[in-house]
A and B are shown apart, each in its own frame.
Chain A
Amino acid sequence: MADTHDHLSDHEYDGIREYDNPTPAWWHVIFLGSVLFAAVYFLYFGFNRTAPTIWSQLAAQQTAENKRIFGALGNLNPDEPTMRMLMGDPKFMNVGRSQFQATCAQCHAKDGGGLNGVNLTDDHYKNVATMPDLFKVISEGAGSGAMPAWKNYLSTNERVLLAAYVASLRGTTPAGGKPPEGNPIPPW
C-alpha cells in the first residue's frame, strides 16, 4: 500500500498522528476463521459423547499394546516354566530390561551390579531361594521397605517379566559389582 492511499486522521497526541487505515482483510479472515474453528471444536468435543477423549485414547492404546506385547500368552503365571520361557525370548528380555532401567536401576545399578540395593548378578540372594521368590520380593518388597513393593505400580505380567529379567542377570559379571550379600542358593 502506497502512502498516497492513506488517510491521516485528525488525531494528534504529543506529535503522534494516526492513519485511518482499515484493518487488513487477511487479519479479519484469519480472526473470524479462528473464531469459527473454536466454535465448531467446542461444540464437537464439548457435547458429542462419542468424540474421543484423552482417557479413551489411553485405554485403547494400553489394550492394544498389552495385546501386541503379550499377545497369545494372556495372563502370565509367576512360575518357573513361564519365567524360563520369557528368558529364552530376546524380545521379552528387552522389555524387561527397559522396565528394570526405569524402576530398579537406581538401587541395583543399570547392569544389576548393585548400588544401594544388592548385587543381582552373583549367586548370593536375600529372601530368594527359587525363581518365583523373585516375583514375590518384587511384588511385596523386603527388608523393612529397603526393597519397595511394586504390586501397586506394575501389573502381574510386568512383574513376572521383570522377575524373569532379574533371573537372567545371574551369572553376568558387571565391572564394579557389589560384594555378595545374603546366602548362596543353588542354580536356577
Chain B
Amino acid sequence: MSAGPIRGNSLAAPALDEFRYDDAIVRKFTLATIAWGVVAMLAGVVIALQLAFPAANLGLEWTSFGRLRPLHTNAAIFAFAGNAVFAAVYYSTQRLCKARMWSDRLSNLHFWGWQLIIVCAALTLPFGITQGKEYAELEWPIDLLIAVVWLGFFGTNFFMTLKNRRERHLYVALWFYIATIVTVTLLHVFNSLSLPLAVVELVKTGQWPRGTDWLKSWSVYAGVQDAFMQWWYGHNAVAFFLTTPFLGLMYYFLPKAADRPVYSYRLSIVHFWSLVFIYIWAGPHHLHYTAIPAWASTLGMIFSLMLWMPSWGGMINGLLTLRGAWSKVAADPVLKFFVWGITFYGMSTFEGPMLSIKSVNSLSHYTDWTIAHVHSGALGWNGLMTFGMVYWLLPRLFQTEIWSKRLVSAHFYTSTIGLALYVLAIYTAGITQGLMWRAFDESGALQFPNFVETVTSLIPMYWIRVLGGLLYFSGIVMCGINTYMTWRARPAVYADPIVRAAPLSRDYADPPVPETALTTNIEFGRKLDAVVVKGWFHRVWERKPLKFSLLTLAAVVVASLFEMIPTFLIRSNVPSIASVKPYTPLELAGRDIYIAEGCYNCHSQMIRPLFAEVKRYGDYSRPGESVYDHPFQWGSRRIGPDLAREGGRQSLDWQIRHLEDPRQLVEQSIMPSYAHLLRQPLDFDSIQGRVTAMAMLGVPYGEAVKPGKAAAMAREQAAALSKQLIAQGGYDHLADTKALALVAYLQRLGTDLTAPAEPAASTQAAATETIP
C-alpha cells in the first residue's frame, strides 16, 4: 500500500515526540474488573439461591432479596462492566491517539473515585438507602460523585487526550467511546434529578437533618413522566454503558487479537450513526401496555425494530473480521471468548427488537424472560468480551506469560456451559409463568388463580439457574487465580518503552474529494458517490473530535427531545382523576419504607389492560393514578403478585401477619420475612420533611405542610389503624412501628379510583376521564 495523504503529508520529516503509555492505570482497572466481577456474580448467585430457597437470606433485613438485588445489578453494571470499559478505554485510547492520557492525576482520581462510588453503593444499598429507581438506586450524594468522576475526571481526561492526539483521524473505537461519555452524562444527570430530604429540612421545615435524612431524596418526576425518564435512562444505560463502549472494545481488541483488518469501514459509519440515533428512542418498549400514552409505546416498538440492523452491523463487522482467521479461533481462547461474546450480542440484539413487539411483550413483560434476555447480554456479551480482553491484556500488562492457558480454556468452557444453563432455565421459567398467568379453563376461569402456584412451578428452573450461575461464577474465580499468579510472575520493574510519533501539524490541508468510479451518472450522483458513499465526509469529521462529539450529542438530544417534549407538555397524556388524592403523611412514610425495602424489585404496581390481568388483579391502572408517585413504583418484574390494587383486598391483620412471616398464610411463598418492621419504630419526626418535600414537588398537601401538622396527622391515623387492627384480633403494640405505616400505604394502593370524589371536585370530574 502506498502511504495515504495522512502520513504522506509530511514532506520534511517533523521532529518526533517521545512519550510513554500509561499502563499502570490499565493494570488498576483490570484488577478492579476481576475483583468486582467476583463480588457481583457472588451476589447474583446468592439472590438466585434465595428465590429457590428463601431461607438463604438468613432472615436478616440487610440480606433480603429486595436489598441485595440492587447491589447485584449495580455491581455487575457499574463495578464489573464499568471497570472493564475503563480498562479498555485507557489502554486503547492512548494507542489509537498515539498519546499518553492527558493527566495521570485525573486518571488516578477517576480510578479511585470510581472505586469509592462502588464502596458507597455497597455501604448504602443493603441498608435500604435507595432512590428506588432501577439501576439508578444510588442516593444523591453518590449521584453527585458519579457526575464528577464520570465527566470531570474521566471525560475531561479522555477529551483532552483526543485533543492532544498524534493520529490525525479518530478510529471507530473512539467514536463509540465518545458516544458513551457524552450520552451517559446526559442520562445520569437528567434521570437522577431529585430533591433531598436534608435540603427540605434545612430550607423549609427548619429542622437539622438527622442520620439518614442526609441520604434520602425523591425524584423530581412523578408517575408517567418518571416512568418515561426512568426507562429512557434504563434502556439507554444498556445502550451507552453496556453496548457502545463494548463495541469500542471489540473494534480495538478483536482485530488486534486476530491480527486481521476490520471487515468494513463503511459499515462502521452506517451502524455507528444509526445505532446512536435510533437507540435513544426505544426506551418506552419497557412500558408497553402500562399507563404511558399509546404513541410513546408505539415509538418504543418501531424504533426497537429499526434498531435490529444497526445493532447487527457491529456483529457483522466483528464476525466478518475473523474471515480467514477461523483456524486462529480454534487455537486461541481469547478469540473464542470474543466470538461467543459477539454471537451473544447478535442473539440479544435480535431478541430485543422481538421482545419490543407489543404482542410478544404482553407475554414476556414482568416474567423471567426479561431476566434471561439481560443475562444473555450481560454474561454473554459484556462478560465474555471482558474476559477475552483481560486474557489478551494480562501478558502485555504484566509482561510475562499467562500463568495457565489450560485454566483459560477451562474458564471458557465453564462460563459458556454456565451461561447456557442459566439462560435456558430462565427462558423456560419466563415463558412458563407468562403462559400460566394468562391461562383460562373452558368455564372462563383463570386456571392458576392463586399466584403462588405460578411461582412454585418455577422452582426447579431456579435451581438450574443457581447451578448455571455457580459455574459462571467459578469461571471468574479461575480468572482471578490466573490473574493473581500471572501478576506474581511479573518483572521486578515493568519495561516502559518510549514511543515516538510526530505531533499533528497545524497546517493540515484536507485531501481532495476522491475520484468516483461512476461514469455514466449525472454530476450529482457522482458527487454523492464520492462524498457520501465512499465516506469522504466522515473522514473530515474524524479529524475534528469536538465537531464529532457535538454531532453525537445532537443525535441523542434531538431524538430524546422528540419524545420528552410531548411527554411533559401534552396534558391529555395524563388525564387527571378527581378522586385521586395525595397519600396521607403516614402512608407517605410507609411508601418510603416500601422503597427502602426494595419491594419494587418483586412487585409491580401496574395492571395492564389485558383480560387475564384485569381478571386477576382488578381494573387496569390509569395514568392519573400515579400523579403523586415520586418516584413511580410500577416495577418491572412480578416475582410476587401485582400490588396496584392491593388496598382493601386483605385485612390489616392479614397484611401484618403476612409481613411478619409470609409462610404462615401462603405456605409456598418465597417472600422474605419482614418481622423487623414490626419491631422498628417509625421515625415520626422526619414525616414533616417528607410531606413538605412532596409539596415542593407539586403535590397538593394543603394543611399538612404546616409545622408539626404532618406528624400529628400521622400519629392520629396510626392510632386509628392500630385500634382497627386490635378489633380485627391483631397485635396491639404496633401503633408507632414501621409495619403499620407500610400497611397503611398498602391498604391505600389503587383504592382512589373507586373512591367517591368530593362534591367540590365534581364539576371537574365531569370533564376528566370517566371511570367504568
Contact = CB atoms under 8 A, between A and B. Distances in A.
A59 to B, nearest CB: 9
Nearest to A147: B651
A128 B167 CA distance: 87
Contact of B265 (A11, A62, A65): A11
Contacts of B445: 94-95, 97-99
A146 interface: yes
A101 B450 CA distance: 5
Interface residues on A, range: 35 or more
Contact of A144 (B256, B447, B611, B728): B728
B256 A102 contact: no
Interface string A82-114: 000000000110110111111101110010000
Given A21-B266, A69-B443, A146-B651, A102 B274 contact: no
Contacts of A11: 4, 169, 171, 265
Contact of B449 (A21, A23, A98): A98
Nearest to B8: A10
A14 B96 contact: yes
B444 A13 contact: no
A10 B261 CA distance: 11
Contacts of B270: 23
A140 to B, nearest CB: 12
B654 A102 contact: no
B308 A30 contact: yes
26 contacts: A13-B167, A14-B95, A14-B98, A14-B252, A16-B255, A19-B261, A22-B267, A23-B264, A23-B266, A23-B270, A23-B313, A24-B267, A37-B305, A38-B306, A41-B301, A41-B302, A58-B609, A69-B443, A94-B443, A101-B449, A102-B616, A106-B666, A107-B650, A144-B724, A145-B651, A146-B729
A185 interface: no
A44 B299 CA distance: 13
Contact of B648 (A23, A45, A53, A149): A149
Contacts of A21: 263-267
Residue picked from B264, B313, B649, most chain A C-beta under 10 Å: B264
A74 B650 CA distance: 30
Nearest to B94: A14
Given A19-B265, A54-B289, A153 B727 contact: no
A120 B463 CA distance: 37
A27 B316 contact: yes
A188 interface: no
Contacts of B650: 106-107, 148
Given A11-B265, A42-B298, A152 B751 contact: yes
A62 B615 CA distance: 9
Interface in A36-70: 37-38, 41-42, 45-46, 53-55, 58, 61-62, 65, 68-69
A186 interface: no
A115 interface: yes
B305 A38 contact: yes
Contacts of A16: 171, 252, 255-256, 261-262
Interface string B650-667: 111110010000000110
B449 A31 contact: no
Residue picked from A31, A58, A69, most chain B C-beta under 10 Å: A31
A9 B666 contact: no
A101 B445 CA distance: 10
Contacts of B441: 94, 98
Contact of A54 (B324, B609, B648, B654): B609
A18 B265 contact: yes
Given A19-B265, A21-B266, A146-B651, 14 more contacts: A10-B2, A10-B3, A13-B167, A15-B256, A17-B261, A20-B264, A20-B266, A21-B265, A22-B267, A23-B267, A99-B449, A107-B654, A146-B653, A146-B728
A102 B666 CA distance: 12
A127 interface: no
B611 A61 contact: yes
A92 to B, nearest CB: 8
B266 A65 contact: no
A120 to B, nearest CB: 15
Nearest to A100: B449
Interface in B651-690: 651-654, 657, 665-666
Contacts of B96: 13-14
Given A16-B255, A107-B650, A143-B728, A8 B1 contact: yes
Residue picked from A11, A37, A110, most chain B C-beta under 10 Å: A11
A95 B441 CA distance: 9
A61 B613 CA distance: 12
B564 interface: no
Nearest to A102: B449
Interface string A25-36: 001001100110
B313 A18 contact: no
Interface string B280-299: 00000000010000110011
A144 B729 CA distance: 10
A147 B3 CA distance: 85
B446 A98 contact: yes
Nearest to A148: B648
Nearest to B261: A17
A21 B295 CA distance: 39
A17 to B, nearest CB: 4
A62 B136 CA distance: 38
A142 to B, nearest CB: 10
A37 B302 CA distance: 8
Interface in A145-165: 145-149, 152-153
B437 to A, nearest CB: 12
Given A58-B610, A107-B654, A115-B665, A22 B649 contact: no
Nearest to B669: A106
Given A3-B323, A107-B650, A148-B650, A10 B302 contact: no
A116 interface: yes
Nearest to A15: B256
A42 B618 contact: no
A35 B261 contact: no
A116 B3 contact: no
Interface in B610-651: 610-611, 614, 616, 618, 620, 645, 648-651
Given A18-B261, A46-B298, A102-B449, A34 B308 contact: yes
A158 B616 CA distance: 13
Contacts of A65: 444, 611
